[in-house]
Structure formats: structure tokens, C-alpha cells
């Protein structure tokens, strides 16, 4: 089964910031929302997806994220 792109982005962003707890704090998201997004049961709102993109772009510029 193919992992949803939203789940992949969340996983990479979590890796870039040091874990899901830190990512949850940076996104100001509830634990329930994070679980739902990670599992692919719900899609993050557009504003959250933009924040995720910013995290990944910043991490890539700083050399902390693996190449995509």
C-alpha cells in the first residue's frame, strides 16, 4: 500500500525537527489531529501543510533533512 503524501511529509518534518512531539508543538496541533494526519485518516488543513513545507524547506537549507 502506498503511504499518503501527507503522512510522508509529516514523517519527514518530524525527523527534521527532532520528533513528533516537537512537530506537534511547532504546528500548535492536538495529539488527536497529529495521529489522524499521520495515519492518513484525515488531511491536514492547508495552513498546516504550508507550515510543514516551510519546516522542510528550512531544514533542507540547513542540511538537516535527507534529500527528497
What integer best gives the mean pLDDT of the chain?
A: 87
pLDDT at residue number 67: 54
pLDDT greater than 60 at residue 62: no
Beta strands of 19-65 (E only): which ranges?
A: none
Query: For 39-53, how does the pLDDT look when each residue is reduced to its tens digit (9 = 90+)?
Result: 889 999 999 999 999
pLDDT at residue number 39: 87
Residue 59: band (very low, low, confident or very high) from pLDDT cuts 50, 70, 90: confident
The dihedrals phi and psi of 21, each to the nearest 5 degrees, come to -60, -45
* pTM for the model: 0.81
The dihedrals phi and psi of 18, each to the nearest 5 degrees, come to 105, 15
Amino acid at each position: 500500500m502506498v503511504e499518503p503524501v501527507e503522512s510522508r511529509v509529516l514523517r519527514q518534518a518530524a525527523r527534521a525537527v527532532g520528533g513528533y512531539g516537537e512537530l506537534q508543538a511547532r504546528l500548535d496541533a492536538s495529539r488527536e489531529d497529529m495521529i489522524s494526519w499521520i495515519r492518513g485518516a484525515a488531511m491536514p488543513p492547508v495552513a498546516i501543510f504550508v507550515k510543514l513545507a516551510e519546516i522542510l524547506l528550512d531544514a533542507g537549507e540547513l542540511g538537516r533533512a535527507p534529500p527528497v
